[in-house]
Amino acid sequence: MAEAAQNLPPVQEIFDPHSQAYLNDPVPQCLALAERGPIVWYEPWQAWIVTRMEDIMACWKEEPLSSDFYDWEFAPRRPPADEWSNFERAMIGHSLLADHDHHRLVRRVTAPAFSRNVVDAIQAKIEPDVRRLFDELGTPAVFDYKAEIAEHIPFISITRMVGIPEKYWPEIKQVIMTFTAAWNPTISDEERESARQDSNRAIDIIRKVINERRGRPGNEDDFLSTLLKIEAQNPEFEEWDIITLILALIGAGSDTTLVAQQWSVYALLKNDRDQIAKALASPDAFANAFCEINRWGVSSKMGFARYAPHDMEFMGQHLRKGVMVLMMPHLKDYNPAYYDNPEQFDVERVFDPEVMFGYGPRYCIGASLAKRQLYLTLTELFRRFPDIELAEEPEKDPDDHNAVVFKKLLLKTNA
Ligand code: HEM
């Protein structure tokens, strides 16, 4: 291998996101990996890693690789249609993930459901729930932000966004957070099977909600009503597309939000206090601040997975069919070639391009909602507790496969 020829240590010795050293400080490992070249073979994961932004952006934009989990060489067998449960029907049959053309159609026709007006309406619905959460918290001397606030936010946002009535909340709560694991390449078959069963239960509830809504179409400004209107106008967009999309929202919007909540609070409390007011000056100011929070924290471990759809040449390497390719935009986050004074936390830093929500056809659907719900929660936190501070340096959780997260985040309210 190239390493032996150049007398370099094996890549896994310089880069191991599951190591304690990475949890303590991922930056040296990220920089060292990027130095190995634009595309690097990572033996422990049997995957190629794309390290440079220009290549990652080209990959995002052109989509030469597949986003379909079932194209992965180690994925469970893609079952034939007569063996599908609802989970496979949603994820294979009408997938946002599988078919390029259909994906683009879904993104095009559903764009109005993510317009500013809809996000504004959703914010108005989430606001009282967030306030209620803080009311229930009261004024403790110390509390765990992760358990008391952050862990509730994804559920609140998604149920409100989609328009799942409260009577279904206890039932769907149990399955909504766990089933995202169904696509996680790093978990065991047993865990994936249990996640698959959770998905099927979630789909049953979603179908019930859709049926009820069809029975009494109103002018509700949630996502489901908007999607049902879109369905009525577009013959190629049907009920299973709606189900897939809702599952994708839950899948992509839960863990990401939980991670973002923790790092936003941590970053703002760990740095100069004047950054807090600048970050929360307006939703737009926060949208930029959030890019800086994300850059400064380097919370990612894996990056974004793609799979070779067939044997192919890619960036000068031969890819075998099914091999995983991981794009790691976070490797750039402390690289002075991309950012001046990368050690400095500056919520007014200019990001051009801004890529934390991806780029191109698969740009994050939930980006506006994610930024808005974070803005809302943080504004409430600092309004209630202007003198809040970290009660201790939080311990990182070594068991999370995807991201550097905290076991808990204890805050001292000083109220
Ligand atoms: C801070 C939070 C979030 C971050 C950093 C984030 C980031 C991203 C990124 C980078 C992608 C592209 C992934 C890829 O290329 O493989 C993506 C896709 C996606 N995100 Fe987000 N996201 C966040 C929150 C959300 C939320 C709250 C929702 C839904 C309510 C959501 C829904 C989606 C969906 C459905 C996709 C797939 C889009 C497609 O394939 O067309 N995300 N997100």
* 365 Cα–ligand 1 center, Å: 6
Q: How confident is the model at residue 98 (pLDDT cuts 50, 70, 90)?
A: low
Comparing 259-268, 306-315, 317-326, 353-362, the range with the smallest average pLDDT is: 353-362
Task: Specify the pLDDT at position 69.
Answer: 83
Comparing 46-60, 177-191, 207-221, 296-310, the range with the smallest average pLDDT is: 177-191
Comparing 115-124, 202-211, 350-359, the range with the smallest average pLDDT is: 115-124
Residue nearest to atom 40 of ligand 1 (CA): 362
Does residue 260 have a pLDDT over 80?
yes
Which of the listed residues 68, 256, 306 should we mutate to test ligand 1's pocket, taking the one with most ligand atoms within 8 A of CB?
256
Does residue 2 have a pLDDT over 60?
no
Whose tokens are 């078959």? That residue is 189
Higher pLDDT, 373 or 219: 373
* 12 Cα–ligand 1 center, Å: 28
Say if pTM beats, i.e. exceeds, 0.85. yes
**Percentage of the chain lying above the pLDDT 70 cut:** 93
Does residue 401 have a pLDDT over 90?
no
Residue nearest to atom 6 of ligand 1 (CA): 357
Q: How confident is the model at residue 80 (pLDDT cuts 50, 70, 90)?
A: confident
Task: Specify the pLDDT at position 21.
Answer: 97
Q: How confident is the model at residue 171 (pLDDT cuts 50, 70, 90)?
A: confident
* 111 Cα–ligand 1 center, Å: 14
Domains of the chain: 2-412 (1.10.630.10)
Residue 224: Cβ-neighbour burial (10 angstroms; 0-12, 13-18, 19+): buried
Task: Specify the pLDDT at position 14.
Answer: 97
pLDDT average, residue stretch 108-122: 81
Residue nearest to atom 5 of ligand 1 (CA): 357
* 367 Cα–ligand 1 center, Å: 7
Cα gap 93→20, rounded to integer Å? 41
* 355 Cα–ligand 1 center, Å: 11
Residue nearest to atom 19 of ligand 1 (CA): 364
Does residue 221 have a pLDDT over 80?
no
* 160 Cα–ligand 1 center, Å: 18
pLDDT average, residue stretch 206-219: 84
* Ligand 1 atom having least distance to the Cα of 103: 41
Cα gap 312→306, rounded to integer Å? 13
Comparing 90-99, 157-166, 396-405, the range with the smallest average pLDDT is: 90-99
* 370 Cα–ligand 1 center, Å: 9
Whose tokens are 């683009």? That residue is 104
Residue-wise pLDDT for 331-369, tens only, equals: 999 999 999 999 999 999 999 888 999 999 999 988 988
Beta bridge partners of 144: 410
Q: How confident is the model at residue 255 (pLDDT cuts 50, 70, 90)?
A: confident
Cα gap 238→235, rounded to integer Å? 7
* 356 Cα–ligand 1 center, Å: 9
Cα gap 121→352, rounded to integer Å? 29
How high is the mean pLDDT of the chain?
Answer: 90
Does residue 103 have a pLDDT over 80?
yes
Higher pLDDT, 136 or 369: 136
Residue-wise pLDDT for 264-294, tens only, equals: 999 999 999 999 999 999 999 999 999 999 9
* 366 Cα–ligand 1 center, Å: 6
Higher pLDDT, 146 or 166: 146
Q: CA distances (Å), 19 to each of 11, 45, 328, 372, 396, in order? A: 13, 14, 17, 33, 11
Which of the listed residues 257, 364, 374, 378 should we mutate to test ligand 1's pocket, taking the one with most ligand atoms within 8 A of CB?
364
Q: For the chain, give the longest Cα–Cα distance.
A: 69
Whose tokens are 């089933």? That residue is 179
Does residue 1 have a pLDDT over 60?
no
Task: Specify the pLDDT at position 140.
Answer: 98
pLDDT average, residue stretch 221-225: 81
Which of the listed residues 357, 368, 369, 373 should we mutate to test ligand 1's pocket, taking the one with most ligand atoms within 8 A of CB?
357
Task: Specify the pLDDT at position 143.
Answer: 98
Higher pLDDT, 102 or 211: 211
Ligand 1, CB within 6 Å, residue ranges: 60, 96, 107, 248-249, 252-253, 256-257, 260, 304, 356-358, 362, 364-366, 369-370
How many secondary structure helices (H) and strands (E) does the chain include? Answer: 18, 9
